[in-house]
Amino acid sequence: MAEASTSRPSARGSDHLQDLGLVSVVIPASNRATTLPELLARTRGVLEPRAKEIEIIVVVPSPEDPTAEAATAGGASVLAQKRPGYGGALKEGLLASRGDYVVTMDDDLSHPPETIAELLIHRDEAEVLVASRYVAGGSAHMSPVRAFLSKALNFVYRRLLAVPVRDMSSRFRIYQRKALNELGLHTLESEKYDILEEILVKIYSLGWRVLEVPFDYQARVSGRSHASEVSFTPGFLSTLFRLWRLRNAFGSADYDSRAYDSLVLPQRYWQRRRFRLVTEMVGHSAPRLDIGCGSSRIIQSAPDSIGLDSEISKLRFLRRTNSLLVRGSAFHLPFPAESFSAAVSSQVIEHLPRDRRIFLEINRVLKPGGTLVIGTPDYGRVQWRFVEWLYKLLLPNAYGDDHITQHTRYGLMEELAATGFAVRQYHYILGSELVVQCVKQESVVVDDPA
């Protein structure tokens, strides 16, 4: 998968940022009474000319921490955390924030507040902006041991979780409120620094965009980092396993897209064989409708096609490659009659209740002589029964348990014939998955297809 795009900020004046509304800044802080006044002053200096309103929330481990008094003197709201660790502090700060944009940053001036303005220039390009040390133009001033651990951690998370972000552990970010709201902050489980990866992976799995913008991570002014190198292992490993299960669940917005490049070679072969069969059968007919498109490479390879799906997260992910996207139901296609020359329905009907309206609706929106390419597992074949058993064993959170209707080749052919389609050809993937090409011969209207 391609890496997340990165860029240096373009030249846009602060007057273009007046539409920001309320901007929140969340700073977990401990024993930073000496550095916090400068941090707060510089942060206000950056945001006050750019936002209609700002709020700065400093989360301290206890009210007795001298940081609390310094925060109050600097005009910030102080929140004494109740949950343990950095994860608890960050979660409580995010829950208390009200801004349309929420900035998170460190308490020790290692994150230059002036970078906030550079990040905000890109606010319309992604729902999460990450100030990144590890993309071109970024840098990090830290000890060799900490630099090695940080880069190793990010590499492992990026590769195993297939999230194209190089600096997943950066604490310097800007979130749009809509992404945080859908994330569900109350559901976050991590208590330490692994909350950073948990938030990012879950937001990305919901289909929201993440953009890395390079910045220069500065050496802290005083004190030492609160992030212990020892804590880089047990918590992160358990979180990695939790997030790996999430990423390999079919609910992940990019699940279908990632399968095309899967490290599991049988899955990779299967996806690419399906892609070739479907695209060859449908040809270059236009206009084209992809019903239940998911985030598959089939719809991504046809940017002029209309993609329809019931899951908003998958459509949201497809914004990277496709612009003609509709949320809707296969039982009631929201298009006029005879709108399309071709339709694709790949690996959809087995996930839906058995209902002839699906085929009648496809017939209705296709032009006479229009092509339909439809694919589904053939439950009449022992090969598929074995494949499904193996699939559920290896990927228990994937699509295997979501097949609620079991089609066979003969049953599908009868259904197609009864709804006005003539089969032209069909092929199997490893004798298991059936892909059929047919054409609309006649319009079929049924008053009560149910």
Per-residue pLDDT tens digits for 87-137: 999 999 999 999 999 999 999 999 999 999 999 999 999 999 999 999 999
Q: Are 275 and 211 part of one and the same domain?
A: no
The 3-state secondary structure of 368-390 reads EEEEEEEEEECCCCHHHHHHHHH
- What is the average pLDDT value for the chain, to the nearest integer? 89
Residue 270: which domain range? 255-440
Task: Look up the CATH number of the domain holding residue 420.
Answer: 3.40.50.150
The crossing angle, in degrees rounded to 10, of helices 66-73 and 36-47 is 30
pLDDT at position 374 is 98
Strands of 53-60's sheet, edge to edge? 77-80, 53-60, 22-28, 101-104, 173-176, 128-132, 210-214
**4 domain-assigned:** no
Domain assignment of residue 450, yes or no? no
Domain match, 287 and 167 both: no
The pLDDT, as a whole number, for residue 400 is: 57
Q: Model pTM?
A: 0.87
Angle value at C-alpha 290, between 287 and 296, nearest 5 degrees: 130
Q: Could you tell me if residue 294 is inside a domain?
A: yes
Whether 239 contacts 156, CB under 8 Å: no
Confidence (pLDDT) at 236: 79
pLDDT tens-digit map of 303-314: 999 999 999 999
Same domain, 183 and 276: no
Model confidence band, residue 449 (pLDDT cutoffs 50, 70, 90):
very low
411: pLDDT strictly greater than 50? yes
- Partnered with residue 79 across adjacent β-strands are 59
Last residue of a domain, one of 247, 279, 296: 247
Indicate whether 203 belongs to any domain. Answer: yes
Greater model confidence, 411 or 393: 411
Decide if 445 is inside a domain.
Answer: no
Beta strands 421-429 and 325-327: pairing type?
A: unpaired
| Percent of the chain clearing pLDDT 90 (strictly above) | 76
Domain co-membership, 81 together with 142: yes
> Both 47 and 148 in a single domain?
yes
Q: Tell whether 63 is covered by a domain.
A: yes
State the amino acid at position 202 in one-letter form.
Answer: K
Shared domain for 200 and 278, answered yes or no, is no
Instruction: Identify whether residues 119 and 168 lie together within a single domain.
Output: yes
pLDDT digits (tens, 9 = 90+) for 7-29: 344 434 444 555 789 999 999 99
pLDDT at 448: 53
When pLDDT is averaged across residues 75-92 and rounded to a whole number, the result is: 94
Distance from C-alpha of 149 to C-alpha of 273, rounded to nearest angstrom: 39
Predicted local distance difference test score (pLDDT) of residue 7: 38
- Interhelix angle 144-161/195-205, rounded to 10 degrees, is 30
- pLDDT tens profile 146-182: 888 889 989 999 999 999 999 999 999 999 999 999 9
The last residue of a domain, from among 247, 270, 302: 247
Instruction: Show the beta-strand stretches assigned E in 208-363.
Output: 210-214, 216-217, 288-291, 306-309, 325-327, 340-346
In this structure, are 47 and 128 located in the same domain?
Answer: yes
Contact status, residue 67 vs residue 88, Cβ threshold 8 Å: no
Query: Which CATH number does the domain housing residue 94 bear?
Result: 3.90.550.10
Domains contained in the chain, number: 2
Asked if the model's pLDDT at residue 227 lies above 70, the reply is no
Q: Are residues 235 and 263 in the same domain?
A: no
Which pLDDT band, with edges at 50, 70 and 90, does 392 fall under? confident
Same domain for 229 and 87, yes or no, is: yes
Asked, for residue 427, whether it belongs to a domain, the answer is yes
Number of neighbours of residue 120 by Cβ within 10 angstroms: 25
- Verify that 184 and 312 share a domain, yes or no: no
The pLDDT tens digits for 251-280 are: 899 999 998 998 888 889 999 999 999 999
Last residue of a domain, one of 219, 247, 275: 247
Q: Please, which pLDDT band fits residue 223 given cuts at 50, 70 and 90?
A: low
The answer on 288 and 223 residing in a single domain is no
Locate 96 and state its tokens.
């208390």
CB within 8 Å of 332: residues ≥ 6 apart: 357, 361
| Rounded Cα gap, residues 348 and 256, in angstroms | 12
Whether 448 is in a domain gets the answer: no
Please say if the pLDDT value at position 38 is more than 80: yes
